[in-house]
Amino acid sequence: MTRMPYYPGCTLKTKAQNYDLSTRAVFRELGIDLVELPRWNCCGAVFSLVTDDLLRQVAPITNLIRVQELQGTDSVDDPRLVVPCAMCFNVLKRANARMKDNPEDLKKINDFLYLESQPYRGEVQIIHTLELLKEISAKRIKEQVKFPLLGLKVSPYYGCNLLRPKDVAIDNPENPTLLEDFTQALGAEVVFNNRRLRCCGSYQTVSEKGLVADLVYDIIMGAARAGADLIITACPLCSFNLDWRQKEAMEAHSDHKLIPVIYYTELMALALGIGNGFGGEHFVDPQPLLQKFLEKEKGGI
Amino acid sequence: MNERFLRIKRIVLGPRNREFSKKVEELSGETVNLCEQCGTCSGSCPMVGEMDITPSFMMRMVQLGEEEVLESKTFWICASCYTCSVRCPRGIDPAKVAEALRQIKLRAALDFLDISKITEEEAKILPQIALVAALRKFTG
């Protein structure tokens, strides 16, 4: 077992518990024990884009000091910080890069955080769970598949925060293949949705529900035209919008086709035979589809 | 090049316009004058249909230091998806310009989001990152 520092973030502890639980279970199965950072705090969810806002970098940097503290103990083997939430990943990685590129900013932040046990040294490396899966390799994942997802048509959806801007991108920002590669490794059929990189509306969902519902309609219908049974995401906010805003999309568009949305880790857990019971709240319930599939699989063995 | 031609083509901003343009440049850290109005940002923006002016129009107004851009809803509709940022052939990040415009409004205590309008039903289902992100983007 390789032990690695792990930052779940607020949403994975509450509305997206199914993402947190399935991530931990999948990595345990693949030989990685995710060690939750002690005393982590909210990262701020969106990276501040103006130049004079150093105070807004305090929250992410405090978390990176927690990583240093954890590295100082004997509880992790691989020092890199693993982050599953796409929004947290974007914020932490960009805040980290800002500190690395601007020693003056780093000094100011450290002066401000003088009560911390140690200053931030700017050396923490941040890795997204999908990047870690790529390191583990699709081949190894394929070897561990117990129930190949034969015949299941899966449409990967990337959203924004994992691919843009370029300096944080975990894959080619215009033509990524990470999610497709390992969906194939699970035995499922990948269907191509040309809206897979399109913004889902993000935080506009709080005040502009109708606008987000239109974007979601466009994305879901793209997947429907490609013949998808299921959509997989890596972001709790994409997941929420794509799932729950189908209610408004359905009301506004009579031809809307409901498609369930789950996290890629839940799909993996299913194929690796570690379970289907991670809970999670849904508008479009994925269980009928997944249950039907599991029964067919088990019946065939 | 012909001296006379250069003189005719030059656009000179008044002090007030220059000051506004400079303010946005400083806040965003982006050189807005690099924009050549190719429209790639407007063509790539998933939100453009909901905006009153296109992202490239917004860039042009900032270049010219037209403060009226602050009355547009374009930069509030922007969801910081960074599609324009990765595609701009001049290497400008229009998402940062939109953030600077939001900040100018928010720092004048003009919030865009009224949290009392979020219904109880919505508050129950919205994920934390949606609320934190919206509050950071839309309130000062």
pLDDT in tens, B2-13: 676 666 677 889
| A238 assigned to some structural domain | yes
Rg from Cα positions in chain A: 20
Q: Are residues A168 and A56 in the same domain?
A: no
Q: Which residue has the tokens 């973030």?
A: A9
Contact list in A for residue B83 (CB cut-off 8 A) is 160, 164, 197, 199
Q: Please tell me the distance in Å from A119's CA to the nearest CA on chain B.
A: 26
Mean pLDDT of A147-170: 96
Task: Please answer yes or no on whether A202 and B80 come within 8 Å at the CB atom.
Answer: yes
Chain A partners of B122 at a C-beta cutoff of 8 Å?
A: 206, 209
Q: Can you tell me the distance from the alpha carbon of A40 to that of A173, in angstroms, rounded to the nearest whole number? A: 29
A227 and A285 in a single domain? The answer is yes
The reported pLDDT for the residue numbered A301 is 45
Q: Is the pLDDT of residue B122 over 80?
A: yes
The answer to whether residue A156 sits within a structural domain is yes
* Distances, alpha carbon B76 to alpha carbons B6, B97, B117, in Å: 37, 12, 17
**Phi-psi region at A92: left, alpha or beta (left = phi > 0; alpha = psi -120 to 50):** alpha
Kindly report the pTM of this predicted structure.
Answer: 0.95
Query: Given the structure tokens 């939100």, which residue do they identify?
Result: B47
Contact B47 A211 (CB under 8 A): yes
- Which of B32, B101, B129 is the mutation pick for testing A, counting most A CBs within 10 A? B129
Choose the final residue of a domain: A129, A154, A186: A129
Q: Answer yes or no: do A184 and A277 share one domain.
A: yes
Residue A300 has pLDDT above 60, yes or no: no
User: Looking at chain A, which residue has its C-alpha nearest residue B83?
Assistant: A164
Quick check: is A69 in a domain?
Answer: yes
pLDDT value of residue A276: 84
Quickly list H helices, chain A. 10-13, 17-29, 58-72, 86-101, 103-112, 129-136, 138-144, 178-185, 209-225, 236-244, 246-252, 264-272, 287-300
Domain boundary among A97, A129, A161: A129
Q: Give me the pLDDT at residue B1, please.
A: 57
Tell me the per-residue pLDDT of A33-59, one tens digit each, with 9 for 90 and over.
999 999 999 999 999 999 999 999 999
Share of chain A above pLDDT 90, in %: 94
Domain ranges of chain B: 13-108, 112-140
Best residue in A166, A171, A174, A204 to probe B by mutation, most B CBs within 10 Å? Answer: A204
B80 membership: H or E segment, kind and range: none
* A259 pLDDT higher than 80: yes
Best to test chain B binding among A93, A197, A206, A212 (most B CBs inside 10 Å): A206
Does residue A226 belong to any structural domain of this protein? yes
Same structural domain, A239 and A158:
yes
Chain B CB contacts of A236 below 8 Å = 127, 129
Q: What interface predicted TM-score (ipTM) does this complex get? A: 0.94
Q: Single out the residue of A213, A223, A254, A98 nearest to residue A158, CA to CA.
A: A223
Q: Are residues A97 and A151 in the same domain?
A: no
pLDDT at site A277: 81
What is the arithmetic mean of pLDDT over B25-54? 97
CATH number, domain containing residue A68: 1.20.1050.140
Q: How far is A212 from chain B (nearest CA, A)?
A: 9
In total, how many domains does chain A have?
A: 2
Q: Domain for residue A136, yes or no?
A: no
Shared domain check, A156 and A97 = no
Mean pLDDT over the full length of chain A = 95
Residues A183-233: tens digit of each pLDDT: 999 999 999 999 999 999 999 999 999 999 999 999 999 999 999 999 999
* Architecture of the domain made up of B13-108: Orthogonal Bundle (1.10)
Looking at the DSSP bridge assignments, the partners of residue A190 are A154
CB A28, CB A105: distance < 8 Å: no
The answer to whether the beta carbons of residues A260 and A289 sit under 8 Å apart is yes
Q: Which structural domain, as residue segments, surrounds residue A112? A: 2-129
Dump pLDDT digits (tens) for A117-137: 999 999 999 999 999 999 999
